[in-house]
Chains A and B, each alone.
Chain A
Amino acid sequence: MLSGPEIIERLRDHTSGLAITPIIDAPEQIGDASVDLRLGPDFIVTRRATGLALFDPARVDEIEERIRDYQDYVRRPPGTAFHLHPGEFVIARTLEFVTLPDTLAANVAGRSSWGRLGLVIQTAPLIQPTFRGTITLELANLGTVPIVLYVGLRVAQVSFFEVRGDPLKRHRPLRERQSG
């Protein structure tokens, strides 16, 4: 696992392939072995199904279409509140755009302070080498009271690991994977 100073060194060296951008408050965000990530402005809210919809992996073609039937896109400006009610599930993303070189993997986890309130931040925490993009967060309120989240809050943290040996697959050139 990379230490805080090692992370800083790689972030400053922009030939390293590691980038987290923007880091708005570096002294607060960069820790001893991780970097805090903020809640971005976009949310996909899953509404409670009222029909006979179900997500059956055996009918995989239908899943994406059906998911969209029960999802709403919501956008909140920075600093504004988003209410997550008990039992509610929301897809969000980090504010920061992250790029990894082929020699680093990463792990994303919720900050423990939020976990104690019943907030689950991430259900698929491993990020593969050469990833680039904002990190998807799967937010769920497992507690019994609504949780108010604010766009821009530090809700997650990412830590980095060296990947030994050669990569398994040959990756496409970087510029093919640019996204906004």
Chain B
Amino acid sequence: MTEAPAGEGWPTAHAALPPLERRILNRARVRILHLRQEMEDLRQAYAEREDLPGLRTLVEALLLIAADCERHVEKHARELFERFLDGDVPMDEALEEFRGRIGGIMRPIEDVLPPLLEIARVPHGRDMEALVGPYKTLLGELTNEIGAARELIFEPYVDYGFQLSLLDDLRPLTGSLSEDVRRALASLPRLTIIAYPRQLEAETLIHGVIAHELAHIAIDRQVAGEPVARLREIFESAVEACYEELRVEIATDEQLDLGGDDEQEEALQDAIKEAVERLRKWYEEFVCDAVAVYLLGPAFLFALLDLDVASNRWQQLRGTAGVESHPGLAWRVRQLIPHARHYVRDHDRPPWQALAQAIDTIETVVIDLEDAILPTERHLLERALTQLDGELLRRVARPAVFEPENLGQELDLVWDKLCQGIPPAERVRYRTRPDRQGEEGTSAAGTAAPSLQRVLAEWSVPMDWRSVMNGCYIYWTADLALPEVVAGSPRALPAHPGEVDAWLRHNAFVRGTIELIDLHNRLSDMRARMDQLNLIP
């Protein structure tokens, strides 16, 4: 049993804190205990989940933090007691300092950790598994961190989004952590958390939208240096050029007097600032859309459209609460069409015709849809957007850009395999189909047949997964993934009767194909080791 401090002094035996501080200490310790217990449970639950390296890293980090916070809380309690006994500080001062220190530990925990705990608790579903490897590679290339330990977490959430790194999120906490724990956290793999809509888990083609989030990451990290500075410069010069016009228009719209009193002028300045900030956000969204096309190809355009089209987000009404962060879908799609056309080739072969037709169809739909914003706002943004040439955007995406030539080489192969129901996971060299003259890897007429040894040694290379995303999306838009309808059969809806099932089946097929490509890449990298294992017994 402990004694409470009596009078002005501490108890001489069985020391205890005063009731309030004791309560503070206990509540803090219990909260930290909950955190530790939950992390221990998760650590056990994920022990065998080698497919979740990101979450395992996160759990380890949270365990380190919890243990360190517990040590700090207990240390402060001991110090309080010792300092008072040493006569360093009066009791009131010591108690106040104690309350401040414990609060300084607990407040960041309560602010910072809940969202991370949510992420740690809910692993991505099985259907996202196929995309982890490809997007991790793309992210590594884009952020120039090839070879650096970086874990990607796909977080089931309500919408697409991203968070960059564990350390960034934990910054408010780091002041209260021990140096050795900070070092340990810094040595953990860096985390990138990509959120996706939980209900769209199985729609692999829609997850092409993640390319937009990767573009945000590239720009946020300014890894591209000069191109990103140039992007910003373009917007600022458009603001400068349109400023007076914008000022007049906003004053009229907000019913404020130009040259009015200080109050009016201040309100006008605030309104202009707000409008410019919104337009700056929209500009960045446009830029990320366009960069995403150069990361993924036209499949990004199709995915963006399919993501938002059902919720009828064509228009962006100025001042609409809660939806101001992104411009309207119609405008976004219109901006993307010229970039997507960079991938079109003037071929008469079916996939190329289907690609051109898919883009044309979208253009005819969105061309007349308008966004209800002020004319100068539109003028300002369009002035900036017209200067976004493809070359500048490709420079932002350069380390990971999906070149039109890549699609040019692989789309026909993807298409042929899709027509036969074969996953287009690899490019088999030295194919013997006679109707492709001069195509890479085929034996064109007139060339000497390769030896059997060479055929085997150079058998195949994995297809670029982005060619698969594009090829499969184009195949879908051409209605070729739909089952045949029996003539004269009744329809419950004015639509293809099997379209919903076919979409889900097609997405599963895409997912399986991308998974095969990823396995091919990874096992090729570890071929020497696997050969050794195959010698046993």
Give the interface size bracket for A toward B. Answer: 35 or more
B247 on the A face (CB < 8 A): no
Q: Decide if A180 touches B433 in the complex (CB within 8 Å).
A: no
Least Cβ distance of B204 to chain A in Å?
A: 8
User: CA of A13 to CA of B527 in the docked complex: distance in angstroms?
Assistant: 26
Q: Decide if B420 touches A179 in the complex (CB within 8 Å).
A: no
- A-facing residues in B401-437 (Cβ within 8 Å): 416-417, 419-423, 425-426, 428, 430-433
By a beta-carbon cutoff of 8 Å, the part of chain B in contact with chain A is 48-51, 126, 129, 416-417, 419-423, 425-426, 428, 430-433, 452-453, 455-457, 459-460, 462, 480-481, 483-484, 505-513, 515-517, 519-520, 522-524, 526-527, 529-531, 533-534, 536-537
Q: Decide if A180 touches B50 in the complex (CB within 8 Å).
A: no
B452: contacting residue among A8, A78, A176, CB under 8 A? A8
- B-facing residues in A129-147 (Cβ within 8 Å): 132
Q: Decide if A15 touches B523 in the complex (CB within 8 Å).
A: no
B contact patch SS: helix
Given contacts A13-B433, A175-B480, 6 further A-B contacts (CB under 8 A): A8-B456, A14-B417, A19-B417, A30-B456, A78-B526, A97-B516
| Residues of B close to A173: CB separation below 8 A | 483-484
Q: Decide if A24 touches B483 in the complex (CB within 8 Å).
A: no
A12: contacting residue among B129, B431, B512, CB under 8 A? B431
Per-residue CB contact flags for chain A residues 140-180 toward chain B (1 = under 8 Å, else 0) read 00000000001011100000000000000000011111111
A28 on the B face (CB < 8 A): yes
Q: Decide if B421 touches A99 in the complex (CB within 8 Å).
A: yes
Given A12-B455, A41-B519, are A21 and B422 neighbors across the interface (CB < 8 Å)?
Answer: yes
Q: Decide if B423 touches A21 in the complex (CB within 8 Å).
A: yes
User: CA of A40 to CA of B531 in the docked complex: distance in angstroms?
Assistant: 16
Given A74-B48, A99-B421, A178-B481, are A24 and B512 neighbors across the interface (CB < 8 Å)?
Answer: no
A153: contacting residue among B426, B456, B460, B530, CB under 8 A? B530
Q: Decide if A24 touches B524 in the complex (CB within 8 Å).
A: yes
A125 on the B face (CB < 8 A): no
Q: Decide if B533 touches A150 in the complex (CB within 8 Å).
A: yes
Given A8-B452, A117-B537, A174-B420, are A79 and B428 neighbors across the interface (CB < 8 Å)?
Answer: no
Q: Decide if A79 touches B422 in the complex (CB within 8 Å).
A: no
Least Cβ distance of B463 to chain A in Å?
A: 9
Q: Decide if A80 touches B50 in the complex (CB within 8 Å).
A: yes
Q: Decide if A26 touches B457 in the complex (CB within 8 Å).
A: yes
Q: Decide if A22 touches B421 in the complex (CB within 8 Å).
A: no
Q: Decide if B529 touches A175 in the complex (CB within 8 Å).
A: no
User: CA of A19 to CA of B516 in the docked complex: distance in angstroms?
Assistant: 14
B456: contacting residue among A26, A40, A152, A174, CB under 8 A? A26
A14: contacting residue among B420, B505, B522, CB under 8 A? B420
Given A22-B520, A23-B459, A152-B519, are A175 and B428 neighbors across the interface (CB < 8 Å)?
Answer: no
Q: Decide if B50 touches A38 in the complex (CB within 8 Å).
A: no
A9 on the B face (CB < 8 A): yes
Q: Decide if B529 touches A79 in the complex (CB within 8 Å).
A: yes
CB nearest to B483 among chain A residues: A176
| Residues of B close to A30: CB separation below 8 A | 456
| Residues of A close to B533: CB separation below 8 A | 150, 153
Per-residue CB contact flags for chain A residues 82-126 toward chain B (1 = under 8 Å, else 0) read 000000000000010101000000000000010011000000000
